[in-house]
Amino acid sequence: MAAWSRGKVRPNPAGRQRLPRARKTGRAGTRHRRPADVQRRGAFRDACGNSVAVTTIDGGLIAIGVVVAAYLWGGIPTAYLAARIEAGIDIRKYGSGNVGASNALVQLGTKAGVAIGLFDLIGKGILPVLLIRAFDASLTVQVAVALAAVAGHNWSPYLRFTGGRGVSVAGGVVLAFALWHEAAISTILIVALGRLAFKDTGLFTLIAIVALPVTTLSLGALSMADRPLETVLLCTLICAMLVAKRLIANWERPIAEQPVIETLLCRMLWDRDVRHKQGWTERMPNADTADNDTPAADTSEAADR
């Protein structure tokens, strides 16, 4: 009797020839191991409509890289670049020295100020969060990305860690996380009362900053809105960063003719070194600081009015 090796064709009793069976792989119900960074299937589909597994960003080196990228993106100094291109000036040496929309509004005009504010709000505050959310990132990673964008705007790596105040970027983050109650309160305080009623947003911006975590925590505690712990932590850290930025500003030295405690108090309450707004927003660079890239505090009489 001939010995038939496995896989060769041999006749069966009915006279038919059996073809060798192909090994079945990937049978229904069989679980396949996937890379550690691919945790679940995303919502993406290919051209044929088939679901495609995408890499989710829930931790590890990928998450760290994304957070660093958000910091670098948030650090793009839009107001500084616009001032250089439009007027050929270093905006840190003019007016409040803030590298943001509020100072650009005074130094470059309404159109430039509004455009910069919208870019900071949407491009830096909303877009990074929505983009990372599209890749099924966890809420913790979304919070880290949002905080990195705000930190990058406030302490830009491209400007020796100077930057803006972060209010517009923080507003975009609040909208990206759908914190509508907090957004409404901030809008009423900053726009309605600060800009329209009292023509000075400094104090009302501080109130809105402090009210952000308080409102979030209260809404969650009273079960009036869904506010996870990560969201409360996000609002608390945003408040801390914005208050810290007001106090340290852009590393300017306090005015020599004024006590340090008074300068810090003015920075906290009014977001400037002096009580009166006009003398502060109309500052011009000194001759000894006009040619260098380091922002310096103005000690002229105009700043002390």
Chain mean pLDDT for the chain? 81
The conformation of residue 126, written as its DSSP 8-state character, comes to: I
Which whole number is the average pLDDT over 257-284?
86
**Percent over 70 (pLDDT), the chain:** 74
Amino acid letter at 111?
K
What pTM did the predictor assign? Answer: 0.75
Q: What pLDDT is stored for residue 28 in this prediction?
A: 45
In the chain, domain spans:
60-252, 253-284+299-305
Bridge partners, 51 (sequence order): 45
CA distance 229 to 38: 26
* pLDDT of 22 higher than 80: no
Read off the pLDDT of residues 213-233 as tens digits, 9 standing for 90 and up: 999 999 999 888 899 999 999
* pLDDT of 41 higher than 70: no
Read off the pLDDT of residues 132-186 as tens digits, 9 standing for 90 and up: 999 999 999 999 999 999 999 999 999 999 999 999 999 999 999 999 999 999 8
Q: Let me know: does 264 contact 247? Beta carbons within 8 Å.
A: yes
CA distance 145 to 74: 10
- Which pLDDT band holds residue 275 (cuts at 50, 70, 90)? confident
Backbone angles phi, psi at 209, to 5 degrees: -65, -45
- Long-range contact pairs involving 244-251 (C-beta distance under 8 Å, separation at least 24): 245/154, 245/155, 245/163, 245/165, 245/166, 246/165, 246/206, 246/271, 249/97, 249/273, 250/92, 250/97, 250/98, 250/99, 250/162, 250/163, 250/295, 251/161, 251/162, 251/295
The torsion region of residue 20 among left (phi > 0), alpha (psi -120 to 50) and beta comes to: beta
Structure tokens given for 196: 């329209």
Q: What pLDDT is stored for residue 113 in this prediction?
A: 95
Give the residue, 134 or 25, on which the prediction is more confident.
Answer: 134
